Structures are given as C-alpha cells and as structure tokens.
Amino acid sequence: MCSKEFRVLHILDHLSPASGVASVVMNYVIGIPKIKQDIAIYGQCDAAMRAQIEACGGKIYKLPDVTKSFGRHFSEELSKLLRTGPHTIIHGHLINSAFIYLCLAKKAGVPHRIIHSHSSVSADVFYKKIRNNMLAKLIPPYATDYIAVSELAAQNAFGKSLMNLSIIHNGIDTNRFSFNPDVRREVRQELGLSEETLCVGHVARLVGLKNQEFLLNVFQKMHDRENCTLIIAGDGPMEGLLKEHVKAMGLADNVQFLGQRNDAHRLYQAFDVFLLPSLSEGFGLSVVEAQCAGLPCVVSEHVPQTVKCSANIRFLPLGNAQIWADTALGMSKIPRKDGADAVTSAKLDSGAMCDKVKNIYQSMRTELYEQPY
C-alpha cells in the first residue's frame, strides 16, 4: 500500500504552444481531470498554458537547466521535489536526460517511472545521434514502463524487444481544428490572400529533418503553373538559410515566414493544401490537424501511415519535386469539407488518446492502492 497521494509528474523541457509534446501533455492534463498532474520544466513556460494547468489542479515546477553544470543543479532540485513531493508516477518525455531524472525518481522511491518516446529519430546531426543513442541505453535500469507514439518511435528509442511497452498515438482536439469557413475568410484576409490565390501550407520546426529545402523546390514548380503563396509557420535554426534560398529563387513575394505561431488551428483554415516532406517523423501530428480541418495533404513516405484518417492524403517518396507539385496542385482542387468525424473514427482524437493514458495510470493506481480509481 502506497502512502503518497496519487499524482503524476510530467518532465518536459519547456511549456509552449509551439511544442507538439507540450500540447500532447496539455491534452492529458485537461482530458484526464480525475488524476491530478503536475509538470516540471527547465525552459520557458507559457503563461496561458500555466493558467490552464493550475485551473485543472496541477502545479508547475521550474527546475534549473539540465544542460548546465553537467545537470548538477537540476539533479539537486529535482531530488528535493521527488523526496518531498506527492508524486507516485513520473512520466518523462525527454529521452536524452531520462537516465538522470528516472534514476533520481528510483532513488526517491517513486514506484512508477514512465519514459515516453515522441520521435522516430534521436537527432538530425550524426554526432548527436551517436550521443543520444548512448544516453538512451542508460534508461532501462530506471524505467518501469514505456510509451511510444509509433512502433518506429519505440524502436528508435528503446530497441526491438521490450516488456511494458504501450503504443499510444497522439490525438488532437477535433473541435479546435475542425473546418470553419468564417475563420478561413478572416485568416486569408489577415495574410493578404485573394480568393484566387492558392495557399500552400506548412507547419513545422525549421530544421533539417523537416526537409524545407525540398519543400521550396516543390513550391517553385507549383508557382510556375499557378498563382500561389506558400505559408510557413514555425521557427528554427534553418530559418536564415531558407529565407536566403527564397530570395535566390525569386520567390520573396510568394513565400511568407510567419515564425512561431500559437494559432496553427486558425492557419489551417486558410490553406488549400498541406505539405510535409519530412525525412523522418515519429508520428506527424500536424498531418492529423490538417486533415481535421478538411485539408488535402501530400506527405513523405517517412510519415507513419497511422496518421491517415481521410481519402485525401498521399504518401510520396522524396526526390522528384515535379511529382509532388503535380500531386499537390491536383489535390488542392478537391472540395473542402470538415474532417473532425474522420479523425474521431480513426481514434486520433484527444479523447481516444487520453483514455489509453488514463487506463495506464489507473492500472498503476490499482497496483499501489489495491483499488480502482
């Protein structure tokens, strides 16, 4: 019988609307209200997200940066929290530092220690892949349970054979992303898009794995044939280089870099087709969001087929920008209709996701307290 209060502590780097992982955790907090969940972070904390968590009875713990001083100050503060706090489950979402916080949790007597893989690759730079793979191998002595968003994400982080592994696909709030013609008109006006302009959309971090240089090549071939604008929402280390490429291609007037946005659900409404030519994806949550908004999607073959929840999606190999352009132009003519029901039918809504996570938490509670929640 456990003497501690039953609470979950999520470990994240930062809490921001632009973070897909943070958005998933927010869905857990809101969608599983009977189980109190707190969040420990060492990076930025969005005020609105903090307010939502606190309204649900959760707490935010700000820790020192784990990447500073070899993680010493991070470890000291987290150890104090784990020894004195009420948490019976640690749910970690950071692979690289997992061996640190899961080890501390084990020493503090936290009975259930979950590690959650959200990505199918450990890094987009070779030496970082080597480092991250080595760090991931330090996890097993300290983790009691494993979750991954896909089989590929599980294999990347944990290897091929694991006990206590659950595959839980990410889910979205369908009400938030469903198609709204009024919002579409409003956002297109904000972006300066005429009714005749074909709007090509892309929502992602500007990093090598997202393959935005290929995206620009595809868009150039689309622009050669039709009046269109490319909207890129997201920031990252590739931003400067991509902007230089746009200028060199003579597309400066036809490509808008919006930076990090907290309103992707509104932007999807303005798009006519969504492109995601990623080199790798653990899941591809943005593709589900786009389909919910009724958008036709053209994505790379490296995006898991699991995200398919409509007939209006094509998975293409990378390399031939002309085929991508032809496919995107053709699909952009498909009449728009709401995709919320299709997302729900595919069990890619936040409700289905939260039910699976709740079942895991409840089984842990039953084990600890010998009674169901």
For residue range 220-241, what is the model confidence (pLDDT) as tens digits?
A: 999 999 999 999 999 999 999 9
Would the pLDDT of 165 be above 90? yes
Q: Are 9 and 89 in contact (CB under 8 A)?
A: yes
Residue 4 pLDDT level (bands cut at 50, 70, 90): low
pLDDT in tens, 177-215: 999 999 999 999 999 999 999 999 999 999 999 999 999
Cα separation, 122 vs 131, in Å, equals 9
pTM for this one?
Answer: 0.87
Cα separation, 29 vs 59, in Å, equals 11
Tokens 């470990």 appear where?
11
**HEC string for 41-108:** ECCCECHHHHHHHHHCCCCEEECCCCCCHHHHHHHHHHHHHHHHCCEEEEEECCCCCHHHHHHHHHHC
pLDDT in tens, 256-277: 999 988 899 999 999 999 999 9
Cα separation, 263 vs 126, in Å, equals 33
- In terms of CATH architecture, what is 7-171+349-369? 3-Layer(aba) Sandwich (3.40)
Per DSSP, 294 falls in state T
Q: Which two tokens stand for residue 308?
A: 């398919």
pLDDT in tens, 95-136: 999 999 999 999 999 999 999 998 876 555 655 677 777 888
The chain-wide mean pLDDT, for the chain, equals 92
pLDDT in tens, 308-335: 999 999 999 999 999 999 999 999 999 9
Would the pLDDT of 161 be above 70? no
Q: Are 343 and 174 in contact (CB under 8 A)?
A: yes
Helix (H, G, I), strand (E, B) or coil at 235: coil
Cα separation, 326 vs 2, in Å, equals 60
Would the pLDDT of 242 be above 50? yes
Residue 1 pLDDT level (bands cut at 50, 70, 90): very low
> Could you count the other beta carbons within 10 Å of the beta carbon of residue 289?
27
pLDDT for the residue numbered 331: 97
Q: Which two tokens stand for residue 55?
A: 């309204």
**CATH 3.40.50.2000 domain span(s) along the chain:** 7-171+349-369, 174-345
Q: What length is written for the chain?
A: 373
Cα separation, 230 vs 253, in Å, equals 10
pLDDT for the residue numbered 249: 97
Indicate the fold that domain 174-345 takes in CATH: Rossmann fold (3.40.50)
Which is nearest to 178 in space by CA: 262, 288, 274, 260?
Answer: 288
pLDDT for the residue numbered 19: 82
Do the bridges between strand 112-117 and strand 87-92 make them parallel or antiparallel, or are there none, so unpaired?
A: parallel
Q: Are 203 and 234 in contact (CB under 8 A)?
A: yes
Helix (H, G, I), strand (E, B) or coil at 178: coil
pLDDT in tens, 40-94: 999 999 999 999 999 999 999 999 999 898 899 999 999 999 998 899 999 999 9
Q: Which two tokens stand for residue 319?
A: 């390399």
**Amino acid making up residue 16:** S
